Amino acid sequence: MSFINYASREINCKIVYYGPGLCGKTTNLQFVYNKTAPEAKGKMISLATETERTLFFDFLPLALGEIKGFKTRFHLYTVPGQVFYDASRKLILKGVDGVVFVADSQEERIDANIESLDNLNINLKEQGYDLNRLPFVVQYNKRDLPNIVSVEELRRELNPANVPDFEACATTGEGVFETLKAIAKLILIDLKKGK
Amino acid sequence: MPSPQMVMYEDEYKKINHIIEKLLREANSKVIFLVDKNGQLISGVGETERFDTTSLASLTAGNIAATGGLAKLIGEKEFSILFHEGEKDNLHISIVGGRVILVVLFDSRSSLGLVRLRVKKASEELTAIFDGLLKRAEEKEKSSDSEFPFAEITDDDIDNLFR
Ligand SMILES: Nc1nc2c(ncn2[C@@H]2O[C@H](COP(=O)(O)OP(=O)(O)OP(=O)(O)O)[C@@H](O)[C@H]2O)c(=O)[nH]1
Ligand SMILES: [Mg+2]
């Protein structure tokens, strides 16, 4: 739920990166962090296991600029993708304004993608959200690898509603800002409707 | 959508700050933060510049969310107070009006008993204000008229953010 503070003239929005384990959610945030000017970002927090798997969440606050005299801030979160962390994923979805689904393009991860997207739908519904009405974009990550599924097939499986989608390689950063920009835009357009 | 848009206005902001400044003095504490349950900082008083307030807000909300999840598992509604004791500094974290998190940082110049006592009083005052804010937000949502600043957003405004 975005938070508008008329007193300090700030608006805060929450973006959640969702997707199966090892699909590259944390890598997306790391790239954004590395490429953002120091004055526009806060500290990146990663609550991770010793093997760098997300345990609870990653958090990256961005202060991009002003709109109509309001400081516009985006709080980026990732969920832990591993199946057994479902309780944590539900907590992180609370108050979400927009979701990025990061898919792993590798052939052997297609079922994991489908399962994770299904899990996203279920967890959102449980909290009274509807993915069809929420700002939502899809990213097909790891396009640099050899054993990947075609975008057409991924689209068929993971993006039947035809929301904005992007090919990416999070390690080199290809597609990362395009994805972020798209979800931020959808959120702001939603705000514009003054829902 | 599950809950109405969270908003804060000048009047309420002043009242809230007045209450937590008083709490800061009366509880002999070092810093006090108010954080939205979604992890957004609402306000802070005291030695705020010593802390990364944005990180603090997000982690506090994560902490409350996690213990809230634990509470449900054992059949409790939520743990409304958390206390973390450090070597020098201590954190008293409580939920105000079901929606907002109050964080009090204090050292040996104060005590848990005193903090708990003062927090209780301040919480009642804060609850009244946040209830009022919520009502105001709900009414706003119903009446579609608004001096809502984002109604006039243009594509250029949005693109400019990412220059
Ligand atoms: N080749 C390639 N590797 C990638 C890409 N994106 C991420 N990786 C690698 O995939 C591994 C997992 O990436 P993470 O970002 O930690 O994955 P995650 O989605 O956060 O995983 P969880 O925290 O377990 O949910 C890391 O070794 C990354 O370097 C990509 O586009 N191409
Ligand atoms: Mg991760």
Q: Domain locations in chain B? A: 10-161
Question: For the purposes of burial, counting CB atoms within 10 Å of the CB of A114, is it exposed (0-12), middle (13-18) or buried (19 or more)?
Answer: middle
Rounded Cα gap, residues B134 and A22, in angstroms: 40
pLDDT given at position B148: 65
Helix (H, G, I), strand (E, B) or coil at B93: strand
Which domains, and CATH codes, for chain A? 3-192 (3.40.50.300)
> CATH classification of B10-161, choosing from 3.40.50.1220, 1.20.1260.10, 3.30.70.100, 3.30.450.30?
3.30.450.30
This prediction's pTM: 0.91
For residue B123, is pLDDT > 90? yes
Q: Determine whether the interchain pair A194/B58 forms a contact, defined as Cβ–Cβ distance below 8 Å.
A: no
For residue B114, is pLDDT > 80? yes
B163 or A47: whose pLDDT is higher?
A47
Under the banding of pLDDT at 50, 70 and 90, the label for residue B159 is: confident
Rounded Cα gap, residues A188 and A190, in angstroms: 5
pLDDT given at position A158: 98
Of all protein residues, the one whose alpha carbon is nearest to atom 27 of ligand 1 is A22
Nearest to A149 by CA among A114, A179, A118: A114
For residue B4, is pLDDT > 60? no
Under the banding of pLDDT at 50, 70 and 90, the label for residue B64 is: very high
B71 or A195: whose pLDDT is higher?
B71
CB under 5 Å of ion ligand 2: residues: A 25-26, 54
pLDDT given at position B1: 43
Rounded Cα gap, residues B84 and A182, in angstroms: 40
Q: Is A64 on the interface with B (CB under 8 A)?
A: yes
Q: Determine whether the interchain pair A42/B3 forms a contact, defined as Cβ–Cβ distance below 8 Å.
A: no
Beta strands in B69-122 (DSSP E): 81-85, 90-96, 100-106
Q: Determine whether the interchain pair B5/A195 forms a contact, defined as Cβ–Cβ distance below 8 Å.
A: yes
Pairing between strand A98-104 and A136-141?
parallel
Give the residue ranges of chain A where pLDDT is below 70. Answer: 1, 194-195
